[in-house]
Amino acid sequence: MRAILPNWKAQNWPAKLLVRWRAGWNSLRAQAVQQLRRGISPRRLALTLALGFVLGCIPVIGIPTALCAMIAILFRLNLPAMQAANYAAMPFQMALIVPLARMGRWIVPFAARKAVDFSALTHSPLALIRHSSARLLEEVGLLAGQALVAWLVVAVPVVLLLTVALTGLLRRVPALAQAE
């Protein structure tokens, strides 16, 4: 039995675990640095950052990270740069949900109906869910759809404007100007 079980004291397992963790971390860090230093032109990096930022502002929480990853892989864009722009856009995503929903209601007026009565929330949030959970889900889905319509209308011009502006800025960075 003694030969099967490892001698934990003799092997100094915490130190070995720490060494393995550091080696894994250094490998991950080296791969990230390699991704970031990959020869990329200012125009392509500007497009990557613009797409990451605009996709990060999608008014439906939880979708942008996976969508950015899929688009970066599909179009062979710089994934770390796109995710960084996506994460930088998260505060804007939260701030733009209500304005985009209102703009969507203005763009798609036929979908607007009588709103759910949220006065029940002052007494008990569960009362609203128990009373009309299907209606609440329907309204939230409609609201998200209207916000997505507004986002689609705004997204294309913003990507174009950000790409042009960022290209001009990134061409001034000496390391990136050489890649072009």
pLDDT tens digits along 133-150? 676 677 777 888 888 999
Query: pLDDT tens digit string along 53-64?
Result: 999 999 888 899
CA-nearest of 70, 50, 66 to 161 is 50
- Mean pLDDT, rounded, for 48-52: 94
pLDDT number for residue 1:
47
This prediction's pTM = 0.67
**pLDDT averaged over the chain?**
79
The owner of tokens 């008014």 is 59
Report residue 179's pLDDT band, with 50, 70 and 90 as the boundaries: low
- Pairwise CA distance, residues 102 & 108, whole Å: 10
pLDDT number for residue 129:
63
Does residue 169 register a pLDDT over 70? yes
The secondary structure of 149-172, three-state, reads HHHHHHHHHHHHHHHHHHHHHHCC
Does residue 32 register a pLDDT over 80? no
Does residue 70 register a pLDDT over 70? yes
Report residue 69's pLDDT band, with 50, 70 and 90 as the boundaries: very high
pLDDT number for residue 92:
92
Q: Where are the domains of the chain?
A: 42-177
Does residue 154 register a pLDDT over 90? yes
pLDDT number for residue 165:
94
Report residue 39's pLDDT band, with 50, 70 and 90 as the boundaries: low
- Pairwise CA distance, residues 65 & 86, whole Å: 7
Cβ neighbours of residue 53 closer than 8 Å, sequence gap 6 or more: 85, 86, 88, 89, 92, 162
Query: pLDDT tens digit string along 112-126?
Result: 555 545 555 456 666
